[in-house]
Amino acid sequence: MTNIYDIRDFGAIGDGVFNCTDALQKAIDKCSADGGGTVLVSSGKYLFYPLRLKSDIRLEIAWDAVLLAGTDPQLYPEVQENPYWKVGYALRNNRRYVMYGEGISHVAICGQGKIDFQGLHFVHVDESLKPFHGHWKRKHDQLIPGRSLFFVGCKDVRLEDLTLVDTAGWFTWFLDCEDVLVRGVTMKADLRMPNSDGIHLGSCRNVVISDCNLTNGDDCIIVRSMQEQFDEPKPCENVTVTNCILQSSCLCIRFGWTHDYLMRNCTFSNLVIRESNVAIGVTSPRIKEIDQRDPPRYPDTPKPYPEVKPFAVENLLFTNIVSETRNYFFGITLTDNEAVDYVRDIAFRGVHAICGRYPMITALPEHHVSDIEFTDCVLEMKPSEHSSNQDGFKIDESMRLSYAENVTFNNFRIKKTF
């Protein structure tokens, strides 16, 4: 019989006012120490501050229960030095979290309840700013829980049947994790909320994401192979995403960033992309040596910087996708001042995309971009303010494919609706 640890038995009061942090943490610690079981968040609204997750626990949030993250930034501690990652290279120099697991295994957060991160308290809300026209300004980059659910060096992690709302930073960050399942999760942020990423995968292996509904002011699903956080680079590989609805003010699906390593073997199927900026992108921006947030380049960033290996992407498959974007459906943008090994073997099959711009590839010969396939794809060009110039609505006359080899079009159609 599964052991059940009701947080009310540890002193929690579900009135939305009483600070239940100690009660929640005691229940988590006791459950793990006893060999594992379920930590139950029963009916009610429970105010809390950062929690440390442990192995062999199932944090179950009942359908009529809410975990309410506190709004005092001083009560969110920073992650300290540890064997799992180099905290000095935390993105945006932010090490704060709402829930954190480090080197743990067999852990789940589930149930049909809600976690409300109350992120609006950490930004200057400007209702005059319309969605897709910019982001609100954060009150501070460091005095903010930059990651809501944060797992580092963990195995067998599950998020299931949850509703997560109003994150102050990224909803999730899985860093160097293995065997991850995110299923039936709703993440909802205002489209003007800065850096409200959905599911952020950094150097993870064996990930399944399914049946999720994500609305994010930043990217929805991010696949990256970060290097500076580790002694040795680790690929991000074997990722499957299916049966999801996505909406983003930035990119719904993004591969890569500056100083990333190898990303490979990923499939995306049966997706609906609601009105967004960009659907899918492979990106490696220019590196700046100072005042850069990702990878971090601040005066107190550790030096010397670790040597990094070249950026690389291969074996991506996208099937059965319906999409509407103000900008392009798919793009590859690679910098001219960072090593890129290759970007290759990317296939799109069964796509109907309404978009404001044509797909584009911006690369150099030495980037070795090759073997891009479009089969049974319909692009319906529909101009928006993101694809116009000062004279009015105007979109590119054709696709721009700079230095891409073996690009194949099978039953590829373009429809113009202007």
Q: Dump pLDDT digits (tens) for 226-280.
A: 999 999 999 999 999 999 999 999 999 999 999 999 999 999 999 999 999 999 9
Cα 38 to Cα 57: distance, rounded to the nearest angstrom: 6
Using CA atoms of 344, 348, 353, 356 in order, give the dihedral in degrees to the nearest 10: 10
Cα 418 to Cα 397: distance, rounded to the nearest angstrom: 13
Q: Tell me, what's the pLDDT at 385? A: 65
Torsional sign, CA 391, 395, 396, 397: negative
Q: Which tokens go with 159?
A: 């998020």
Predicted confidence band of residue 127 (pLDDT cuts 50, 70, 90): very high
pLDDT tens per residue, range 295-336: 888 888 887 777 889 999 999 999 999 999 999 999 999 998
7 falls within a domain: no
* Segment 30-51 mean pLDDT: 98
Helix segments in 80-175, DSSP class H:
none
Over the chain, what is the mean pLDDT? 94
Predicted confidence band of residue 395 (pLDDT cuts 50, 70, 90): low
The total number of structural domains in the chain stands at: 1
Cα 383 to Cα 132: distance, rounded to the nearest angstrom: 15
Residue 288 pLDDT more than 90?
A: no
* Segment 39-68 mean pLDDT: 98
Residue 389 pLDDT more than 60?
A: no
What is the C-alpha end-to-end distance of the chain, expressed in Å?
64
33 falls within a domain: no
Q: Tell me, what's the pLDDT at 290? A: 78
252 falls within a domain: yes
φ, ψ dihedrals at 325, nearest 5°: -135, 150
CATH number of residue 265's parent domain = 2.160.20.10
96 falls within a domain: yes
Q: Are the C-beta atoms of residues 135 and 157 closer than 8 Å to each other?
A: no
Q: Tell me, what's the pLDDT at 418? A: 61
- Kindly state the percentage of the chain with pLDDT values over 90: 87
227 falls within a domain: yes
* Segment 383-411 mean pLDDT: 72
Cα 271 to Cα 167: distance, rounded to the nearest angstrom: 23
Residue 397 pLDDT more than 70?
A: no
Domain that holds residue 255: 70-416
Q: Are the C-beta atoms of residues 280 and 252 closer than 8 Å to each other?
A: yes
Q: In angstroms, what is the C-alpha Rg of the chain?
A: 22
pTM of the prediction?
A: 0.96
251 falls within a domain: yes
313 falls within a domain: yes
pLDDT tens per residue, range 166-225: 999 999 999 999 999 999 999 999 999 999 999 999 999 999 999 999 999 999 999 999
396 falls within a domain: yes
Predicted confidence band of residue 387 (pLDDT cuts 50, 70, 90): low
Q: Tell me, what's the pLDDT at 314? A: 98
